Amino acid sequence: MAKKPKKKGVHYVDNKKFLQAMKDWKEECLEAEEMGEEKPRISNYIGECFLKIANGLSFRPNFINYTYKQEMISDGIENCLQYIHNFNPEKSNNPFAYFTQIIYYAFIRRIQREKKQTHVKHRLIEKVDYRAFVTMEGDENSYSVSGFDPTIMLPDEAVYKPKKKVKVDKPSGLENFMEEKSEDSDNN
C-alpha cells in the first residue's frame, strides 16, 4: 500500500517569501539613503503580511471577544509600519515572529487604553445624579448638571494596571518543623 504524501499545514504568511520581501525592501532603503532620497514605500506583499498577521492574531482566544477588535488590528499594523526599519534580516530570519510580537503588544496597549476609558465612563455615570437622565427640560423639578468635575477622571484604583503581588514572609511547613526540632534539642 502506497503512503499518502503529508499535507503541509496551511500558513497564512509564507515566512521565506516574507523574509525575502523584507530583504529587498531593506536594500531599496539603503540605495535610497545613499542617493539622498526618501525611504521607499513598502511593497503590497509586506502590507498584506502585516494585515494577515494582525487578523490572525485577533482570533486568538485572549483577543477574540473585544468590541474594538478593528482598532486593535489598526494599531498593530500602524506599529508594524512604525518599527519596520528596526527589523534586521542579518540578525533574524523570522520576520513573522518579529512583527507578531509588535502586533501582540499593540493589542495589549489598546486593551489597556480601552479599559481605562471604560473605567472613566463608568465613574462619570456613577458621579452624576440619576435625575439628570430621567427628567425632561421644562419640567418644574428638572435637575441640571453644571460644570465639570475633574475628579471624575481620576480612578479610585488602578483598574487598568496589573496588581502588584504582595510577598508574605511566612515560613513553610518544613521550616516550622525544623524550628520545633531545634527548640526540642535546646531544651534537652
Give the C-alpha separation, 183 to 180, whole Å: 5
Give the C-alpha separation, 11 to 5, whole Å: 18
Per-residue model confidence as pLDDT tens digits over 98-149: 999 999 999 999 999 999 998 888 888 777 766 666 666 665 655 555 555 5
- Does pTM top 0.75 for this prediction? no
Per-residue model confidence as pLDDT tens digits over 34-89: 999 998 999 999 999 999 999 999 999 999 889 999 999 999 999 999 999 999 99
Question: Measured between alpha carbons, how far is residue 130 from residues 41, 125, 148, 151, 188 in Å?
Answer: 53, 8, 16, 18, 73
DSSP 8-state code for residue 166: P
Give the C-alpha separation, 47 to 94, whole Å: 16
With 70 as the cut, is the pLDDT of residue 170 above it? Answer: no
